[in-house]
Structure 1
Amino acid sequence: MLCVGAGTGLELIYLAQAFPQWQFTAVEPAAPMLDICRQRAEECGIASRCTFHEGYLDSLPASHSFDAATCLLVSHFFMQQDERRNFFSQIASRLCPNGYLVSADLASDMSTSAYQSLSEVWVRMLRYSEVPAEEIEKFRDSYGRNTAVLPPIEVESIIASSGFDTPVLFLQTLLIHAWYARRTPRSLEV
């Protein structure tokens, strides 16, 4: 399992505990976050099944192909669609034939009243979670500027054009959308 943008390792630890036979490679460019991920893995007794890579996906040494990859709340930081497409293509190139991608990102059509409504509920959820007001405003200001909040159909199109079958939306929690997709046979030529 390839965990792209592993952060502090929440999904890695959850999956490692649920599937004790799986091996993991955590890719994370932020050294402090990767250190926390490594520490948590050690505390949970799963570090021996993990490889930790500080850096980006393109700096990960070539290795065997992965059966699956997670990419949770990462790709929306690519503001240009071609950069985002390249990112997903890099993931596809690391997967076995028919390997799975699970990806989640902020997604919405920011020009619609549905977005405005969801955004207000999102803010209330953040307040309820005791996120400081100044942080909430930073989040809101970043949407569309530093965070590419695209309509879900556009995110699906980017994933599908990057070596995957049409993604299947399996979860939406307010602005967060999560999809799974399989690597297509044609992506083997990439």
Structure 2
Amino acid sequence: MDKQQLTQLFDQQAPNYDTQWRRMSPINSGLYFFMETILGVLPERAHILCVGAGTGKELLHLARHFPEWRFTAVEPSGEMLNQCRKAVELAGFTSRCDFYQGYVETLPGEEKFDGATSLLVSQFILDQQARSEFFRHIADRLKPGGLLISADLVANIHSDVYEEQLNLWLRLMANAAVSQEDIQRIKAAYSQDVAVLPADNVATIIKAGGFTMPIPFYQAGLIGAFFAHVE
């Protein structure tokens, strides 16, 4: 799936995206709980780059927890960015946020950020060199020592246990009222359109993009998260 197809897919999903995944929110809550502590070392008035911001869930959480922080949301899907903008406006955070439809490598301006988030984004880049370049573009926009939080689907799809892991993950989606049609589509995407890699491989890819060796800090089902500093 190329960039245009991926953007079109998220444009279609945007209006119902948060409703569809609402019952999976405990996974996000655990991730955000760790993010608060990891990013809490940043300056009181930090500026955070949210790459692939989607509907703005992590942005909203961090904005509530760190009332002096500013945010720049970067998202290629115009419909997802519209949902993000609406949610930010409803929460009263518009004055602290900038919105950019596009990719991090085309983000205008030269401002350097204190930290960045990239949640369930890089997994859609199938080529590992291109995936490292994605992280390089993020590193280029961070201040020296800037912090990255990255989360993606993480698993060894060639291991003896992967089928059981995948089945459990799909059952979680079913319990969260995700439709069977969507579950089958997601299962097919994992084998064709999503780069599900072992944790060590993901860490190596991030490091090659200009970061210190990433430290894994959270795993829930197939979602694994890391933090790293600009090297």
Q: Is TM more than 0.5 here?
A: yes
Instruction: Pick which of 106-115 and 26-35 moved more.
Output: 106-115
Local SS of the residue matching 1:130: coil
Name the structure 2 match of 1:155: 202
Instruction: Give how far 1:120 is off.
Output: 1.1
CA distance in 2, matches of 1:124, 1:113: 19
Local SS of the residue matching 1:113: coil
Task: Say whether 1:132 aligns with 2:179.
Answer: yes
Instruction: Pick which of 109-118 and 156-165 moved more.
Output: 109-118
Task: Say whether 1:32 aligns with 2:79.
Answer: yes
Name the structure 2 match of 1:58: 105
CA distance in 1, matches of 2:161, 2:221: 10
Q: Which has the higher helix share?
A: 2
Name the structure 1 match of 2:228: 181
Q: For 1:52-89, what per-residue CA distance to the aligned partner results, in whole angstroms no more than 9, with x for missing partners?
A: 00111111102311000000000000010011010000
**Which of 132, 144, 155 is residue 97 of structure 1 equivalent to?**
144
- Name the TM-score, length of structure 2 as normaliser: 0.79
Consecutive aligned runs of 4 or more in structure 1 exceeding 4 Å deviation: none
**Which of 186, 191, 194 is residue 144 of structure 1 equivalent to?**
191
Instruction: Give how far 1:24 is off.
Output: 0.2
Q: Which runs of 5+ in 2 are unaligned?
A: 1-47
Identity %: 45
**Which of 124, 135, 144 is residue 77 of structure 1 equivalent to?**
124
Amino acid of the residue matched to residue 79 of structure 1? L
Local SS of the residue matching 2:54: coil
Name the structure 2 match of 1:187: none
CA distance in 2, matches of 1:62, 1:94: 10
Q: Which runs of 5+ in 1 are unaligned?
A: 185-190
- Name the TM-score, length of structure 1 as normaliser: 0.95
Amino acid of the residue matched to residue 63 of structure 1? E
Q: For 1:75-112, what per-residue CA distance to the aligned partner results, in whole angstroms no more than 9, with x for missing partners?
A: 00001001101000000000000000000000111011
Q: For 1:4-23, what per-residue CA distance to the aligned partner results, in whole angstroms no more than 9, with x for missing partners?
A: 00000000000001000000
- Alpha-carbon RMSD: 0.7
Local SS of the residue matching 2:165: helix
Instruction: Give how far 1:144 is off.
Output: 3.0
Instruction: Pick which of 53-62 and 66-75 moved more.
Output: 53-62
